[in-house]
Amino acid sequence: MLDLVKQETERIESRFLEPACGNGNFLAEILERKLRVVESRYGRSQLDYERKAVLAVSFIYGIDILEDNVAECRARLFAIFDRRYAARFKTSARAECRDAVRYILERNIIHGDALSLKTVGPVQYPIIFSEWSAPFDNSLLKRRDYTFSDLIQGPESRQQNLLLTDEYSDQGKRAFIPKELTSFPLIHFLKVRQHDE
């Protein structure tokens, strides 16, 4: 199935969301493909490899209603990253890089219900996803948080109020620009966990 969108699976910057990710079968294969691209293009420089590998992980999202599936998916994706990272940089692999990947997976693989758009548990909250980007193609990452419900609502699902949908694409069509919940300052990719500290 992934071969049908092969070009996208091999782009580091392509975002993928699996709304019923289970233990990560699709997401694992997508990450494998992205990391092969990172290795072929950036494998000579440890810093470049780390930056691009962290980005590759950051563009993968999943939701599952079962908590054990979420834990297994996160662990599986981390193991894929760590196996490739450790094989390439045996003695110089950094704990900070591993911590950054673990943190991003905690934010991107969510214990929730994709139908209700809420987390699962005694108290249910809206599912929140973090968008990660490297706006200057350097070691700094930008994080913006969005509610899942805002991300999937296009302009056609909102009230047809010109004040709410007055953004247009370069082709003159109404554009959907989701409203961010929170925007965080730029931070070094190895220090992303500090956003929550």
Q: State phi, psi for 122 to the nearest 5 degrees.
A: -60, -40
pLDDT digits (tens, 9 = 90+) for 116-156: 999 999 999 999 999 999 998 789 999 999 999 988 875 44
Predicted confidence band of residue 168 (pLDDT cuts 50, 70, 90): low
The reported pLDDT for the residue numbered 87 is: 96
> Token pair for residue 14?
């392509």
- DSSP, res 174: B
| CA distance to 110, 133, 170, per residue, from 155 (Å) | 25, 24, 16
Q: State phi, psi for 145 to the nearest 5 degrees.
A: -100, 140
Q: Which residue has the tokens 């190895």?
A: 190
Give DSSP secondary structure letters for 41-89: HHTT-HHHHHHHHHHHHHTEEEEES-HHHHHHHHHHHHHHHHHHHHHHS
Alpha-carbon span 85 to 128, nearest angstrom: 28
Residue 33 near residue 127, CB atoms below 8 Å: no
pTM of the model: 0.87
- Sign of the torsion formed by the C-alpha atoms of 74, 79, 85 and 91: positive
Alpha-carbon span 99 to 130, nearest angstrom: 17
Residue 141 near residue 103, CB atoms below 8 Å: no
The reported pLDDT for the residue numbered 148 is: 94
| CA distance to 7, 16, 36, 108, per residue, from 2 (Å) | 9, 11, 15, 20
The reported pLDDT for the residue numbered 151 is: 87
Predicted confidence band of residue 19 (pLDDT cuts 50, 70, 90): very high
The reported pLDDT for the residue numbered 124 is: 96
pLDDT digits (tens, 9 = 90+) for 53-100: 999 999 999 999 999 999 999 999 999 999 999 999 999 999 999 999
Residue 127 near residue 148, CB atoms below 8 Å: yes
What average pLDDT does the chain have? 89
Q: Which residue has the tokens 């962290």?
A: 54
Q: What angle do CA 145, 41, 62 make, to 5 degrees?
A: 30
